[in-house]
Amino acid sequence: MNTSTKLADPESVAQHAAVADLLTHTADGAVDRLKSLAHDLKLAYAPNTLRTWRADWRVWTQFCSENGFDPIPVELPALRAFLMDRIQAGRKRATIDHYLSTLTVVHRLAGLPSPMDSMEARLMWRGLRREYLSTRQRQAKGLTEADIDAMIAQLDPNVPRDVRDAALLSVAFETMFRRSELISVLAQDVSVEPDGSGRIFLPHSKTDQEGAGVLQYISPETVERIQAWQAISGVFEGPLFRSTPKSNKPDKYKSPLSDRDIARLFKQRALAAGIDPSRVSGHSTRVGAAQDLLAANFSGAEIMRQGRWKSERMIVRYGENLEAGRGAMARLRSKRNAANRDD
């Protein structure tokens, strides 16, 4: 692999050289100091993006430290060893792709070529994928509207946690928010329209790096569930969805839910409704909403806008089961079965 340093435009040479030097330090220090050097980085990217970069970079630099590799610039033997280490540790392809994306970002911020720019690196990663990661990853189960209704039907309107979860499940499905976005919803950013429906404003999201924010619709039923939760919790400012401890202290609704809480909550409520929780994840409401929209013949472009996806790739994946049921063979067998019944 060509590891020669190729800096960007002359005006940024000093900054890029400094960033490249800083990245030879520890993971936390490197990324923290990188943010301070590239002054606008914190404003240009969502906090969750910066956190995931930091976590990925920590994994990479720890591997390099333990195995005697320099963290930057990445050499092909180090990259191959790292990828094999992650594969053997049971990491999924999507996770490993995220590591590679982070390495690319850090190198480009340092004015260096991406480790994946060379043909050797791309062929190496393609070979490892074919050899070790060719099995198709299991898709998270989509929680459709019918599933959400079944889950909410099991909840007790007199139990605070159940009231919260009814609101949370409704919001998650209708807004198609990611779990990191659900925990970021602020009570003061929920508004009610004259027709009883509502809007939730989200200032930042994964695909809104400019920070323009997004406004999502919620139905009158979801508005009522939010209001029922607020009547119990008294939460009208700050994070809307919070933990519900058993104590009766005034600040008992002080702690916001975490993204792990979201995934655990979805699994628990699915199990109570007779839905297999093993395939339920924190994104299952997004998957289910996309599947319902596909089933209702909304276009890929409309679903992309609603779920704020950058491409149709995931939407196509979510709709594979539906499309199989609509395929030529499915229609043929359906016609023959109908004819046999008529006979």
In this structure, the answer to whether residues 286 and 257 fall within a common structural domain is yes
Q: Is the pLDDT of residue 190 over 90?
A: yes
* 335 band by pLDDT with thresholds 50, 70 and 90: confident
Q: Does residue 292 belong to any structural domain of this protein?
A: yes
| Secondary structure of the chain as H, E, C letters | CCCCCCCCCHHHHHHHHHHHHHCCCCHHHHHHHHHHHCCCHHHHCCHHHHHHHHHHHHHHHHHHHHHCCCCCCCCHHHHHHHHHHHHHCCCCHHHHHHHHHHHHHHHHHCCCCCCCCCHHHHHHHHHHHHHHCCCCCCCCCCCCHHHHHHHHHCCCCCCHHHHHHHHHHHHHHHHCCCHHHHCCCEHHHEEECCCCCEEEEECCECCECCCCCEEEEECHHHHHHHHHHHHHHCCCCCECCECCCCCCCCCCCCCECCHHHHHHHHHHHHHHCCCCHHHCCCCHHHHHHHHHHHHCCCCHHHHHHHHCCCCCHHHHHHCHHHHHHHCHHHHHHHHHHHHHHHC
Range with top average pLDDT, 40-44, 134-138, 244-248: 244-248
In this structure, the answer to whether residues 213 and 70 fall within a common structural domain is no
pLDDT score, position 94: 87
In this structure, the answer to whether residues 125 and 155 fall within a common structural domain is no
In this structure, the answer to whether residues 165 and 277 fall within a common structural domain is yes
Q: What integer best gives the mean pLDDT of the chain?
A: 81
Give the residue from 84, 109, 132 where a domain finishes. 132
* 1 band by pLDDT with thresholds 50, 70 and 90: very low
Q: Give the domain CATH number at 256.
A: 1.10.443.10
Range with top average pLDDT, 13-22, 251-260, 313-322: 251-260
Q: Does residue 108 belong to any structural domain of this protein?
A: yes
Residues 252/172, Cβ–Cβ less than 8 Å? no
Lowest mean pLDDT among 52-56, 191-195, 330-334: 330-334
Q: Does residue 139 belong to any structural domain of this protein?
A: no
Q: Does residue 234 belong to any structural domain of this protein?
A: yes
In this structure, the answer to whether residues 178 and 293 fall within a common structural domain is yes
Query: What is the span of the domain harbouring residue 288?
Result: 145-324
Q: Is the pLDDT of residue 210 over 70?
A: no
* 5 band by pLDDT with thresholds 50, 70 and 90: very low
In this structure, the answer to whether residues 166 and 305 fall within a common structural domain is yes
In this structure, the answer to whether residues 191 and 99 fall within a common structural domain is no
In this structure, the answer to whether residues 93 and 178 fall within a common structural domain is no
Q: Does residue 294 belong to any structural domain of this protein?
A: yes
Q: Does residue 268 belong to any structural domain of this protein?
A: yes
Q: Does residue 337 belong to any structural domain of this protein?
A: no
In this structure, the answer to whether residues 92 and 188 fall within a common structural domain is no
In this structure, the answer to whether residues 95 and 154 fall within a common structural domain is no
Give the residue from 108, 132, 156 where a domain finishes. 132
Domain count, the chain: 2
* 313 band by pLDDT with thresholds 50, 70 and 90: confident
pLDDT score, position 17: 40
Give the residue from 101, 132, 163 where a domain finishes. 132
pLDDT score, position 131: 84
Lowest mean pLDDT among 38-47, 66-75, 88-97, 258-267: 38-47
Residues 75/90, Cβ–Cβ less than 8 Å? no
In this structure, the answer to whether residues 249 and 174 fall within a common structural domain is yes
Q: Is the pLDDT of residue 18 over 50?
A: no
In this structure, the answer to whether residues 281 and 155 fall within a common structural domain is yes
Lowest mean pLDDT among 125-139, 259-273, 318-332: 318-332
In the structure encoding, which two tokens stand for residue 178, read together? Answer: 């990611």
Q: Give the domain CATH number at 79.
A: 1.10.150.130
pLDDT score, position 325: 63
In a 13 Å sphere around the CA of 205, the CA atoms on its Cβ side amount to 22
Q: Does residue 2 belong to any structural domain of this protein?
A: no
